[in-house]
Amino acid sequence: ETDYVLPLVGVRSAVALDWDGTSQTIFYTDVESDVINRAFWNGSNQQTIIANDLESPAGIKEATPC
């Protein structure tokens, strides 16, 4: 078992995490900020992708094309 610490800035209470291995991107929710964010595995390119109409986003699932 290996633990990793991701160098992310401003995360208050991350709850859910999803990983896209193709783009090396993580997606995560922050239930105190009520947002869904993404960043590269190394912590760069950190962005909020959903910030509207969320209340304690405690889960996340990456959409896959049909």
pLDDT at 66 over 70: no
Name the one residue in this structure whose structure tokens are 């509207």: 52
- pLDDT single digits (tens) 2-61: 888 888 999 888 889 998 989 999 999 999 999 999 999 999 999 999 899 888 888 776
What size, in residues, is the chain?
A: 66
HSE-CB for 9 with a 13 A CA cutoff: 5
pLDDT at 63 over 70: no
Name the one residue in this structure whose structure tokens are 């208050």: 12
> Is this structure's pTM higher than 0.85?
no
